[in-house]
């Protein structure tokens, strides 16, 4: 299905795709937790997809990344940013972008089991 080398995809494109991959993981998690209204789904999704939340998630993930995954994260984190959201620091935004690039890369390399594993580590369920 993939007719190109995912390692050559631009950082921005990896982050763009990874944003969607993470969004699907979040939406599935919220449905599993029983949220069914648009209002509740959107309100709780922000707890996962804001730059500060993703930066915190990456802090939990760092010890679990392979060398290859860490390199993809750094590549995404270090890409040039011309703007940042109002409610995030530059460091948080860069880390969130790195996380999105990582998840985009994992999707392109068809590593769904690893996506699921890292998402669970990044966002552990409340006990």
- Annotated active-site positions, please? 19
Q: In 3D, which of 46, 49, 52 has the Cα closest to residue 90?
A: 52
Alpha-helix residue ranges (DSSP H) falling in 33-111? 38-49, 51-61, 67-77, 90-108
Per-residue DSSP letter, 34:
T
Spatial distance between the Cα atoms of 62 and 66, rounded to a whole number of angstroms: 9
């Amino acid at each position: 299905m993939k007719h190109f080398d995912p390692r050559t995809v631009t950082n921005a494109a990896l982050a763009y795709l990874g944003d969607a991959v993470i969004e699907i993981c979040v939406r599935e998690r919220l449905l599993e937790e029983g949220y069914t209204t648009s209002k509740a789904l959107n309100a709780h999704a922000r707890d996962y997809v804001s730059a500060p939340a993703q930066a915190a998630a990456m802090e939990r993930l760092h010890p679990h990344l392979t060398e290859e995954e860490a390199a993809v994260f750094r590549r995404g984190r270090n890409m040039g940013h011309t703007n940042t959201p109002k409610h995030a620091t530059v460091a948080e935004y860069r880390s969130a972008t790195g996380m999105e690039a990582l998840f985009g890369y994992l999707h392109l390399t068809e590593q769904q089991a690893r996506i699921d594993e890292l998402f669970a580590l990044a966002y552990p369920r409340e006990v």
